Chains A and B, each alone.
Chain A
Amino acid sequence: MVNTLTPEAAERAAHRPRSLAPAAGRHGRARRRQAVVAYLFLAPTLLFFAVFLVLPLGFALLLSMSRWTGFRLGDIDPVGLDNFTGLFADGSTFLAPILTNTLLFALGTVALALAGSVLVATCIDRLRFQGLWRTLYFLPIVTTVVAVGNVWKYMYEPGGLVNGVLNALGLGSTAFLQDPDTALPSVVVVQAWATVGSAILVLTAGLKSVPQAYYEAAALDGAGPVTVFRRITLPLLRPSLLFVCITQFLSGLQSFALINVMTKGGPGDATDVAALEMYRQAFSYGDWGTASAAAFVLFLVVLAVTLAQLWFFRRKGEDA
């Protein structure tokens, strides 16, 4: 690693004028000194990544192909792909409902947050006190998941705010988090509520970059608000929309802190998601192999989405 020359450095070396050759010795020393200093500056970072990035990835891969109860490192028992086949075997709950729940949770969050952020972002930029509204929408993002989860959990209770409003409207109470049919949609609403602020932020920035002249031209042509939105705003906002979709989807796939606070995956496994299952298999049931295998499957899904995003935006960048 240390011995590889960067393309830049190689080029510089190749183009060094001959007349400067006598000075090259002193130059070379200065450059070597700078390399030493650079690696001193980078030492804490490289050391950290070696211990907390490279080593863990190797260890996680090893564990995913082993049986281990989590005590002595010498007891790690390699079992090949057994953990992975176990996850997808008949009778395993990993594919359904856990992975299905994960996808539904992520997709539901994307749909709600996208709808909410598009509506708010398109309306917010012609309002007074814009800064105030944006600040309010942003509050959940800086609030710990323990506060968000517990407040909403309490609001969903029979004696809580949501049912209080339903009762006031003459509707009956629902045990949102205790009913397997409503539990997952209920936590999706909370996740969307908690993350919509940053989506609004991204879309507002995207809207600001739409040239005003387009709207003026559309107004001259007598286009109505719906037409303007469909023909001008939406197409020009597409990169921002896609960005919001993918990043929300990614964080939805991985997030389990909120579910852990609100339902612990219940009732039954109605809200169990892949990352939560990984956590519980390891730290509650001591099945580190299965947990690591589950983590890897989820990681592959996340990686595929990430690479699709990178690929898409790189292609877009070349088009522009």
Chain B
Amino acid sequence: MTRRRFPWFSSLLVVTGAVLTVVPFLDMVMTSFKGPGEAGTLPYRFLPKAFDLSNYRAAIDQLDLPLLFRNSVVVTTAITASVLLTSSLAGYALAKLRFPGRDFVFRLVLSTMMFPPFVFLIPHFMILVHWPLAGGNDLFGRGGAGLTVSIAALAVPFLVNGFGIFLTRQFMVSIPDEVLEAARIDGAGEFAVWWRIVVPQTRPVVVTLGLLTFVDAWNEYIWALLVSTADPDVMTLPVGIQLLQDHVDPARTMPIVMAGLVLSVLPVLILFLLLQKHYIRGVMLSGLK
């Protein structure tokens, strides 16, 4: 091919771009080791004077990282489990069961993907504030703070995902009807057919959708920030770290913030590196993020 004539140009360009992509991550790691007065001072130095772990200890203490981690893990796990379950149930009904209104429901699921998340920010918050019989509210959602003062508030608006249903449904359509019919003739109910035959066959889509959902939920910031203003005890990692960065003298705390960030991005980076084929397939299926 003609373009082989310039391999050095291609290599140079790709490597330069990759370096530009990675350098901010390296700067984050390097800064997390810098001592007091070493970060943000002139002249800029990339490497720390010593690889001191004290910022990590400070991050764990000052940020209450164990609590933030626990909240993030609980919320992310709940969202992922719920999205996988509801997507599988609804996907099965839409792909393999015949019932009046199926086209309408499928179109409804598709249409949910057209609404940008910011549209729901205000109404979702208000719905949670006025959630009946929660957080001191009466039956009509009056009197208290509703669900906003519980950790459930972080997960609830993300428990069902239109794209997840669509993805699962598309995958299930290709399962041959004969297999399901045979099981039904053997006396299996629809629930048994779904659990014993369909669910085991949808492992690839479970891994892909689970990974996409997990990463999105772990990284979610705006909603979690909103809920944390109602109840500071239900902060997740991104929110907790951002609050430290906002409220304390940035020059002194920058290395501590960076240490917290390193610890908070590590789980998803590792997960991504281990399962990147599945993740990338998911991104390709969902279009650009």
Residues in A lying within 8 Å of B, measured CB to CB: 1-9, 31, 34-35, 37-39, 41-42, 44-46, 48-49, 51-53, 55-57, 59-60, 63, 70, 72-73, 116, 119-120, 122-124, 126-127, 133-148, 150-152, 154-155, 157-161, 163-164, 167, 193, 195, 197-199, 201-202, 205, 215-216, 218-219, 223-225, 228-229, 243-244, 247-248, 250-251, 254, 256-257, 260-261, 275, 278-279, 282-283, 288, 291-292, 295-296, 298-299, 302-303, 306
Mark each residue of chain B from 99 to 125: 1 if its CB lies under 8 Å from any CB of chain A, else 0.
111111100110010111111111111
Shortest CB-to-CB span from A33 to chain B, Å, is: 8
Q: CB-CB < 8 A to B103: which residues of A?
A: 6-8
Q: CB-CB < 8 A to B5: which residues of A?
A: 225
Which residue of the partner chain A has the closest CB to B22?
A136
Shortest CB-to-CB span from A27 to chain B, Å, is: 11
Shortest CB-to-CB span from A290 to chain B, Å, is: 11
* B50 in the interface (beta carbon within 8 A): no
From B7, B191, B226, B242, contact of A146 by CB (8 A): B242
Tell whether A63 pairs with B100 under 8 Å between CB atoms, given A151-B261, A195-B289, A303-B114: no
Which residue of the partner chain B has the closest CB to A291?
B122
Q: Give the distance in Å from the alpha carbon of A218 to the alpha carbon of B1 in the complex.
A: 9
* B54 in the interface (beta carbon within 8 A): no
Q: CB-CB < 8 A to B160: which residues of A?
A: 44-45, 48-49, 52
Q: Are A140 and B21 touching (Cβ within 8 A)?
A: yes
Q: Give the distance in Å from the alpha carbon of A199 to the alpha carbon of B283 in the complex.
A: 10
The 4 A-B residue pairs with the shortest CB-CB distance, nearest first, are A164-B44, A56-B123, A123-B10, A35-B99
Q: CB-CB < 8 A to A218: which residues of B?
A: 2
Q: Are B288 and A247 touching (Cβ within 8 A)?
A: yes
User: Could you list 15 A-B pairs, sorted by A, with CB under 8 Å?
Assistant: A3-B101, A6-B101, A8-B103, A37-B191, A52-B124, A133-B14, A137-B18, A143-B25, A157-B40, A159-B42, A225-B2, A243-B287, A275-B118, A279-B121, A292-B122
Tell whether A146 pairs with B238 under 8 Å between CB atoms, given A35-B99, A45-B89, A139-B269: yes
Which residue of the partner chain B has the closest CB to A61?
B123
Q: CB-CB < 8 A to A244: which residues of B?
A: 288
Q: Are B261 and A150 touching (Cβ within 8 A)?
A: yes
From B7, B24, B157, contact of A151 by CB (8 A): B24
Which residue of the partner chain B has the closest CB to A295?
B119
Q: CB-CB < 8 A to B10: which residues of A?
A: 123-124, 126-127
Beyond A154-B254, A159-B42, list 13 extra A-B contacts (CB 8 Å): A4-B104, A34-B98, A34-B190, A57-B115, A73-B130, A139-B25, A141-B283, A147-B264, A151-B25, A151-B258, A161-B27, A161-B46, A282-B122
Q: CB-CB < 8 A to A55: which residues of B?
A: 123, 127
Q: Give the distance in Å from the alpha carbon of A46 to the alpha carbon of B22 in the complex.
A: 43
Which residue of the partner chain B has the closest CB to A157?
B40
Mark each residue of chain B from 1 to 42: 1 if its CB lies under 8 Å from any CB of chain A, else 0.
111111101110111011011111101100100000001111
* B43 in the interface (beta carbon within 8 A): yes
Task: Tally inter-chain residue pairs, CB-CB below 8 A.
Answer: 307
Tell whether A127 pairs with B219 under 8 Å between CB atoms, given A35-B99, A53-B112, A303-B114: no
* B229 in the interface (beta carbon within 8 A): yes
Q: Give the distance in Å from the alpha carbon of A91 to the alpha carbon of B152 in the complex.
A: 42
Tell whether A167 pairs with B273 under 8 Å between CB atoms, given A145-B238, A279-B121: no
CB proximity to A under 8 Å, residues B230-259: 237-239, 241-242, 245, 254, 257-258
Shortest CB-to-CB span from A114 to chain B, Å, is: 12
Q: Are B14 and A124 touching (Cβ within 8 A)?
A: yes
Q: Are A63 and B14 touching (Cβ within 8 A)?
A: no
Q: Give the distance in Å from the alpha carbon of A34 to the alpha carbon of B28 in the complex.
A: 56
Q: Give the distance in Å from the alpha carbon of A260 to the alpha carbon of B238 in the complex.
A: 13
Q: CB-CB < 8 A to B73: which residues of A?
A: none
Which residue of the partner chain A has the closest CB to B120?
A56
- Of the candidates A38, A161, A215, A251, the one having the most CB atoms from chain B within 10 angstroms of its own CB is A38
Which residue of the partner chain A has the closest CB to B5?
A225
Q: Give the distance in Å from the alpha carbon of A199 to the alpha carbon of B17 in the complex.
A: 14
Tell whether A298 pairs with B238 under 8 Å between CB atoms, given A4-B100, A41-B92, A279-B222: no
Q: CB-CB < 8 A to B56: which residues of A?
A: none
Q: Are B22 and A139 touching (Cβ within 8 A)?
A: yes
* B74 in the interface (beta carbon within 8 A): no
Q: Are B98 and A147 touching (Cβ within 8 A)?
A: no
Which residue of the partner chain A has the closest CB to B97?
A38
Q: CB-CB < 8 A to B25: which residues of A?
A: 139, 143, 151
Which residue of the partner chain A has the closest CB to B126?
A59
Q: Are A193 and B21 touching (Cβ within 8 A)?
A: yes
Q: CB-CB < 8 A to A154: which residues of B?
A: 27, 31, 39-40, 254, 258
Q: Give the distance in Å from the alpha carbon of A135 to the alpha carbon of B6 in the complex.
A: 23
Tell whether A2 pairs with B105 under 8 Å between CB atoms, given A201-B283, A282-B122, A295-B122: no
